[in-house]
Amino acid sequence: MPIATVNPANGETLRTFDALGAQEIEHRIATADAAFRQYRTTDFDERARLLNHAADLLEKEQDDIARTMTTEMGKPLPAARAEAAKCVKAMRWYARHAAELLADERPSDADARDSGADRAYVRYRPLGVVLAVMPWNFPLWQVVRFAAPALMAGNVGLLKHASNVPQTALYLGDLFHRAGFPKGCFQTLLVGSGEVESILRDPRVAAATLTGSEPAGRSVAAVAGDEVKKTVLELGGSDPYIVMASADIERAVSTAVTARVQNNGQSCIAAKRFIAHSDVYDTFVDRFTTRMAALKVGDPMDESTEVGPLASEQGRATLEELVDDAVHRGATVLCGGERPKDLDRGWYYAPTVLMGVTAEMRIHREETFGPVATVYRVDSIDEAVQLANDTPFGLSSNVWTRDDAEVDRFVRDLDAGGVFVNGMTASHPALPFGGVKRSGYGRELAGHGIREFCNITTVWHGAEPDES
């Protein structure tokens, strides 16, 4: 795939970039390795000063970088601005909390003595150079939610971003440089996916994090496993959105629309499978379909647009294949199911609701990356849990109920890294984020995320002999 900015709203190639050669890649890895040896000795106050400066710069420049993101991958401009603001928030949160999150941990005096120690503690030390392989769908946020905790922990980063968001990738490298981070602390590598293995195998690279597709995750995990290097993977999702009989239906419907079409439906944590109890199924589906059909699809630079184009022509083709397969096998299209007739340029797809989806349809098991929802009817909480878990993925989940016993059951039994009750899944710096099953492993954000790329070091001091 060429490294290029291609506007998904009209298919126009705006800029192309040459990939880095082997000599330049070697230079940048060497620079990162040297930077780590110095940067790891800085204290939390200095790291926080630098990260807060980066946040200040991004806050001032959020309108410009929002336009760059929208141009490169098609998200509506207001959503791009919100993404930039979220990055600022995360930077400041980690600058404020990192010292506390990575403070030495001490066992009780009794446990220390029982180990034979005069004193003992756990210290979190940085691992080194971390390779980040990042996706295009949240091209700023996905990187910052790795970079902010990694830099505050004393690590340094190499970013291999998606090839269709090169200007956003270059902006990120420049942002941390202008903020004053020492040379080599955070570098953007404009390289193709074929270079990832050799970079990860380099002995100066200590670990890797990847957000992306399941095949990409498998590839990186296999290489890292062979090299015995730590990885964190956040892969696909097919999140259930369960609406039980006691739910506030109006809120559940309005939130469901946002949960499905956020980022033009291209989000791992977007709700994709809508499971409604038979007592409220007809009402929920009717209202949900009406609102999905009424969404404004169009130019993502238009402030009133609610759904922009898909990020790539191939992405739209894949989505069309999933819908066509479902319809061929008997699913019913309640709305959408086609390209908008009034948008003949760009990679648009109409918000779509499918009913009658069955297990033999591809869309039942594969992730839908676009504004397509499937709806299911269940007669009990047992059926809801079983259907929700009938997926290879386990990223997050959404449940709507006012019954506390049902909440307890969902929290206990749903196979997911998150259970969001009476709301939609969202990430926040203070809450850990990640999944189970084929959605990956490890966690980002919160204290769990900042500790992922730390050497958890036991420090033991023997007791002095009693000379009395």
Which sequence positions are flagged as catalytic? Answer: 234, 268
Beta bridge partners, 277, equal 378
Q: Please name the residues in contact with 337: beta carbons below 8 A apart, sequence gap of 6 or more.
A: 323, 327, 350, 352, 354
If you ran DSSP here, which 8-state letter would residue 18 be given? P
Structural tokens at position 113: 């003595």
Tell me how far CA of residue 436 lies from CA of 26, 110, 143, 230, 345, in angstroms.
35, 37, 21, 17, 38
If you ran DSSP here, which 8-state letter would residue 193 be given? G
Round to whole Å and give the CA distance between 69 and 71. 5
Beta pairing, strands 230-234 & 440-441: antiparallel
Write down how long the chain is.
468
Round to whole Å and give the CA distance between 283 and 294. 17
For CA atoms 274, 280, 285, 287, give the dihedral sign.
negative
Task: Say whether 430 sits in a helix, a strand or coil.
Answer: coil
In one-letter notation, the amino acid at residue 352 is T
Q: Please name the residues in contact with 5: beta carbons below 8 A apart, sequence gap of 6 or more.
A: 13, 14, 15, 16, 71, 72, 164, 165, 166, 167
CA angle, 172 as apex, 453 and 126 as ends, to 5°? Answer: 20
CB 453 within 8 A of CB 126: yes
Round to whole Å and give the CA distance between 48 and 252. 40
For CA atoms 273, 86, 150, 458, give the dihedral sign.
negative
Nearest Cα residue to 251 out of 418, 423, 426: 423
